[in-house]
Chains A and B, each alone.
Chain A
Amino acid sequence: MDPFLAALAAVSDPFTLCAIVAGSVIGIIFGSVPGLTFSMALALVLPLTFRFETSAAVGMLLGTYIGGMTGGSVSAILLGIPGTPSAAATALDGYKMTRSGRAGLALGGAVFASGFGGIFSLVIMIASVDFVARLAIKFGPVEIFALVIFGLSTICGLAEKSLVRGLIAGVIGLLLMTIGLDEVDGVARMTFGWTPLLQGVNLLVAMVGLFAVPHVIRTLVDYRDQRSFQLHSSDIRSELPSFGQLKQNVWLLCRCSALGTGIGSIPGTGGPIAAFLAYDHAKRFSKDKSKFGKGSLEGVLAPESANNAVTGGAMIPLLSLGIPGDPATAIILGDF
């Protein structure tokens, strides 16, 4: 109990609290702008923390990390363009909610689910850091491959009208990811001698393009057909889900947060897999599956709780074994 109280006293310091708030704001800004990542925000914030006390420095970095993960949902919900790859699943229903005039509820739900997922994963982290770290470290290439295949199986759940088209989209994604330097043999694949392609297709850039370009085309078609959709500032009110909605979804939030914590604790995995698995899980176990993809609140709560739970999960191997699970935790490790 003593370390807990000591940590609480350190965090209660006004400067530490300010550092956490500043880090969260920076993270949310970077996360909400498509193209800017929270890893980039962490890299920019890191030099600032060198002069801080340890608790303030770690607080600011963690605030940036968690804020960035949450910020990705802002543009995913309001524009249909995920700010981070982890928010891609949120865009599926979040943007539909915005188009149906429920942007405030979608944002409020995303913030609540993010907070719930983050706190849930931190509690799990504190309670079971040794056990989960030992379990996670046993995940070798075979287990991670199986997990990725499991993640890809969500295509079956997401491809509603045509499974073949869903599979084609998945295969095209896999094809694009093979472009660049082969990690095993070090051979250039499909670069045709063009040096910039050696680093492959950047996931975030591809995701922004895949979500933004169809959005631009849809907006132009709507404008041409005089069906332009305009989001007024009055449409966006801060609105948290009602007690009834939360009570209805609390078990879903717990399951998705546990899923995100588990996936986050495995080095080499991350938010996008957790978010899509959670979305698929929520859809599969929903009483009304037809609402998904048309603006379902569950479709926002599930991925947001999972992708934020990844942050706590990713801290498990970092704190117990010193192994960063993703680029963001590797930057945080630099401050320890």
Chain B
Amino acid sequence: MVFGAGLWCWGVVVSIPSTGDEARLGARGFPMAMGLLLGALGIVLVLQALVRPSSVPEMGSLKGEFRTVACTVGLLVGYAVLLEYTGFLIATIVTVAVAVGPVLGIWRWLLITGMSGGLGFGIYLILGKLLGVYLPSGKIVNLAL
């Protein structure tokens, strides 16, 4: 948390130009104040942990949790990248297929195809066609959604 706060404050200094007038708070003021507050709260958390150490969970369960978090984050990042290049329909079908197959380990092809295709086309028809909501189209594959 303290490291993150430090990184944030560095980002504030690098990316937000100073007003040059020290009497004015400027655009930097609020983000910098919040970054410093986060750092201070992080230090309090560290001190609390030193004074009252909490029980450490078993490594086995932590490993499983990390794998689950990594899978979810990986799927989300992959979905975002696919959305950018292939558009909503293909990205959704591929991501749902990967979530059902490799992630959940359910290798029933009918279920994978039905779930991914049904969800992708269902959302496309309801949101894109029926309700007229804008769905992203890809840079490489553009299905003119």
Given the interface pairs A40-B133, A164-B48, the reply to whether A187 lies near B27 with Cβ below 8 Å is yes
Question: How many angstroms from the CA of A44 to the CA of B132 in the assembled complex?
Answer: 8
**A8 proximal to B (CB < 8 A):** no
* Bound-state Cα–Cα, A188 to B27, Å: 8
Which one of B27, B72, B132, B133 has the highest number of Cβ atoms from chain A below 10 Å of its Cβ?
B27
Decide: A36 and B103 in contact? CB cutoff 8 A.
Answer: no
In the complex, chain A residues whose CB is within 8 Å of the CB of B121 = none
**Does the CB pair B34–A182 fall under 8 Å?**
no
Contact A185 B19 (CB under 8 A): yes
Complex-state Cα separation, A184 to B11, whole angstroms? 20
B45 touches A171 (CB 8 A): no
| Interface-facing stretch out of A172-180, A247-255, A326-334 | A172-180
* Nearest CB on B from A248, distance (A): 38
The residues of B that contact A216 with a CB separation of less than 8 Å are: 72
Is the CB–CB distance between B35 and A164 below 8 Å? no
Once the chains are docked, how many angstroms separate the CA of A171 from the CA of B38?
6
User: Do B15 and A220 touch (CB < 8 A)?
Assistant: no
Which of A49-57, A189-197, A256-264 is near enough to bind chain B? A189-197
Shortest distance from the beta carbon of B94 to any chain A beta carbon, whole Å: 17
B31 contacts across to A, CB distance below 8 A: 175, 178, 189-190
* A131 contacts chain B at the CB level, 8 A cutoff: no
A192-B34 in contact given A164-B44, A217-B69, A221-B64 (Cβ < 8 Å): no
> Could you tell me if A220 and B19 are in contact, using CB atoms closer than 8 angstroms?
no
Tell me whether A126 is interfacial, beta carbon within 8 Å: no
Partner of B34, one of A162, A178, A225: A178
Asked if A231 CB lies within 8 Å of chain B CBs, one says no
Judge whether B15 and A188 touch: CB under 8 Å. Answer: yes
What residues of chain A lie closer than 8 Å to B110, measured between beta carbons? none
B136 at the interface (CB under 8 A from A): no
- Distance, CA A44 to CA B130, complexed state (A): 11
A164 to B48, CA, bound (A): 10
Can you spell out 20 A-B residue pairs with CB atoms less than 8 angstroms apart?
Answer: A36-B127, A44-B131, A162-B48, A164-B45, A168-B1, A171-B34, A171-B38, A174-B34, A175-B38, A187-B27, A188-B15, A189-B27, A190-B31, A192-B11, A213-B72, A216-B72, A217-B68, A217-B72, A221-B64, A221-B68
Give residues in A with beta carbon < 8 Å to B: 36, 40, 44, 162, 164-165, 167-168, 171-172, 174-175, 178, 182, 184-185, 187-192, 213, 216-217, 220-221, 223-225
A-B pairs with the 10 shortest C-beta distances?
A182-B27, A187-B27, A178-B31, A185-B27, A220-B68, A171-B38, A168-B41, A175-B34, A189-B16, A174-B34
